[in-house]
């Protein structure tokens, strides 16, 4: 049996197992699209965490969990006579072929940027597809990720800085406007200007090919490691963080940094 045949057999086994669970397991039997939704979000974030850790074993596990949800939604769709897993695969294949005319047709796209621009143009032309450039950005995305996607979509139709260095002028401008509102202590305007500053920083990250969500998560994890070290070190000394001065905590924090945490 070839590797492709083994892959197809494994996928078929998954479908068979889910069919049986849907009939025989009380929990699986009662699930709906709505009840699975929050679990799907959780599984997606768990996959993202495994990717950030570059843990192949965990990535494999989380991909399996997410694949189960894909198959589960397709099973529910088939029970409603709306669609099944074949329809899902066929639809995806058709989309991939249509949006890659440089692979499956006569079009030419020599760079990834050209591919992305072509992708967006074809989406706008599709029957039942996005009618506007930003329509394809889900409203439910986390704000940081949404900002990055909005900017990326706009870039694909040419709405972008001519030179990426120009973005720093915008960052400085937004910081100055924020500082002016902070001086006035206008809560509503401070929030608005903070948003503008964040948006410009995310734009800068995009222009320098830095994923802002990944960058922020790296800092989150770094802070967690160093704070855990601070807390553990304090407990071992029989002390409490609440009773320590900021100067004392900074000294331990610097030790954590020196250890490369």
Could you tell me which residue, 14 or 107, shows the higher pLDDT?
A: 14
For residue 234, name the pLDDT band (cuts at 50, 70, 90).
Answer: confident
At 128 the pLDDT is 60
Mean pLDDT lowest among 93-97, 118-122, 155-159: 118-122
Q: Is the pLDDT of residue 119 over 80?
A: no
For residue 155, name the pLDDT band (cuts at 50, 70, 90).
Answer: confident
Taking the domains of the chain in order of start, what are their residue ranges?
Answer: 3-82, 161-209, 214-258
pTM: 0.66
Q: Is the pLDDT of residue 9 over 80?
A: yes
Q: What is the share, in percent, of the chain residues with pLDDT greater than 70? A: 98
At 129 the pLDDT is 61
pLDDT tens figures, 43-69: 998 998 899 889 999 999 999 999 999
pLDDT tens figures, 237-248: 888 888 888 998
Q: Give me the mean pLDDT over the 161-169 stretch.
A: 92
At 153 the pLDDT is 86
Q: Please answer whether residues 36 and 73 qualify as being in contact, where contact means their C-beta atoms are separated by less than 8 angstroms.
A: yes
CATH for 3-82, options being 1.10.1060.10, 1.10.287.1080, 3.40.50.150, 3.30.360.10: 1.10.287.1080
Residue written as token pair 């639809």: 91
Encode the chain in three state secondary structure. CCHHHHHHHHHHHHHHHHHHHHHHCHHHHHCCHHHHHHHHHHHHHHHHHHHHCCCHHHHHHHHHHHHHHHHHHHHHHHHCCCCCHHHHHHHHHHHHHHCCHHHHCCCCCCCHHHHHHHHHHHHHHCCCCCCCHHHHCCCCCCHHHHHHHHHHHHHHCCCCCCCHHHHHHHHHHHHHHHHHHHHHCCHHHHHHHHHHHHHHHHHHHHHCCCCHHHHHHHHHHHHHHHHHHHHHHHHHCCCCHHHCCHHHHHHHHHHHHHCCC
Q: What is the residue-averaged pLDDT of the chain?
A: 90
pLDDT tens figures, 195-216: 999 999 999 999 999 999 989 9
């Amino acid at each position: 049996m070839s590797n492709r045949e083994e892959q197809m057999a494994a996928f078929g086994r998954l479908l068979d197992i889910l069919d049986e669970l849907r009939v025989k397991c009380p929990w699986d039997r009662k699930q709906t699209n709505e009840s699975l939704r929050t679990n799907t979000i959780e599984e997606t974030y768990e996959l993202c965490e495994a990717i950030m850790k570059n843990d192949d074993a965990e990535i494999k596990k989380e991909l399996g969990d997410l694949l189960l949800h894909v198959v589960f939604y397709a099973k529910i769709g088939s029970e409603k006579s709306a669609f099944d897993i074949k329809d899902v695969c066929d639809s995806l294949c058709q989309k991939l072929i249509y949006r890659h005319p440089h692979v499956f047709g006569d079009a030419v796209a020599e760079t990834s940027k050209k591919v992305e621009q072509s992708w967006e143009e074809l989406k706008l032309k599709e029957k039942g597809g996005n009618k506007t450039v930003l329509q394809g950005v889900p409203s439910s995305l986390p704000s940081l990720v949404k900002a990055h996607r909005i900017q990326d979509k706009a870039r694909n139709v040419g709405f972008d800085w001519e030179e990426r260095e120009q973005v720093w002028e915008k960052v400085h401008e937004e910081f100055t406007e924020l500082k002016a509102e902070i001086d006035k202590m206008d809560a509503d305007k401070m929030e608005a200007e903070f948003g503008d500053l964040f948006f410009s920083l995310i734009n800068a990250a995009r222009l320098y090919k830095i994923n802002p969500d990944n960058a922020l998560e790296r800092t989150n994890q770094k802070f967690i490691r160093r704070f855990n070290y601070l807390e553990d070190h304090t407990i071992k000394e029989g002390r409490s963080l609440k009773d320590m001065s900021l100067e004392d905590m900074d000294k331990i924090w610097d030790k954590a940094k020196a250890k490369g945490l």
